[in-house]
Amino acid sequence: MTAIIQPTDNALRSTAWYALNPIWQGDEKAVQQGLPHSQLAPAWQILLLGDGSPTRHLQLLTGEPTEVDVIDMSPIGMAPDNAPPQIQVVPGPRLRRQVWLRTASGQRLAYATSWWEASHVDDYLQNKSLPIWLSLTRLRTELYRDVQGLYYGHSPELERAFGQSGPFWGRHYLFWHHGQPFTLIYEVFSPYLQKYLGSMHLEESDRG
Q: Which of 52-56, 117-121, 128-132 has the highest mean pLDDT?
A: 52-56
Tell me if 149 sits within 8 A of 84, measured CB to CB: yes
Q: How far apart are CA 175 and CA 143, in angstroms?
A: 6
**Chain length of the chain:** 208
- Write down the pLDDT at residue 25: 95
The answer to whether residue 191 sits within a structural domain is yes
The answer to whether residue 17 sits within a structural domain is no
Residue environment code for 121-131, b if the CB has 16+ CB neighbours within 10 A, otherwise e: beebbeeeebb
Q: How far apart are CA 114 and CA 187, in angstroms?
A: 9
Among residues of the chain, what percentage have pLDDT more than 70?
78
Determine which of 1-10, 131-140, 198-207 has the lowest per-residue pLDDT on average. 1-10
131 has a pLDDT exceeding 70: no
Q: How far apart are CA 151 and CA 26, in angstroms?
A: 7
Per-residue DSSP letters for 33-57?
Answer: H---TTTS-HHHHHHHHSSS-HHHH
- Write down the pLDDT at residue 179: 77
- Write down the pLDDT at residue 208: 43
The answer to whether residue 15 sits within a structural domain is no
pLDDT, mean of residues 41-46: 95
Confidence of residue 134 (pLDDT cuts 50, 70, 90): low
Mean pLDDT rounded to a whole number for the chain: 83
> Which CATH number goes with the domain that contains 164?
3.40.1410.10
pLDDT, mean of residues 30-57: 91
The answer to whether residue 9 sits within a structural domain is no
Could you give phi then psi for residue 87, rounded to 5 degrees? Answer: -60, -25
The answer to whether residue 111 sits within a structural domain is yes
The larger pLDDT score, comparing residue 142 to residue 186, is at: 186
What is the domain extent for residue 145?
22-79+90-207
Say how many CA atoms lie within 13 Å of 13 toward its Cβ: 5
The answer to whether residue 85 sits within a structural domain is no
Among residues of the chain, what percentage have pLDDT more than 90?
59
Confidence of residue 100 (pLDDT cuts 50, 70, 90): very high
pLDDT, mean of residues 77-102: 93
- Write down the pLDDT at residue 123: 62
Domains in the chain, number: 1
Q: How far apart are CA 205 and CA 203, in angstroms?
A: 5
The answer to whether residue 53 sits within a structural domain is yes
The larger pLDDT score, comparing residue 67 to residue 12, is at: 67
The answer to whether residue 107 sits within a structural domain is yes
Digit-coded pLDDT (tens) for 50-81 = 887 888 899 999 999 988 898 988 999 999 99
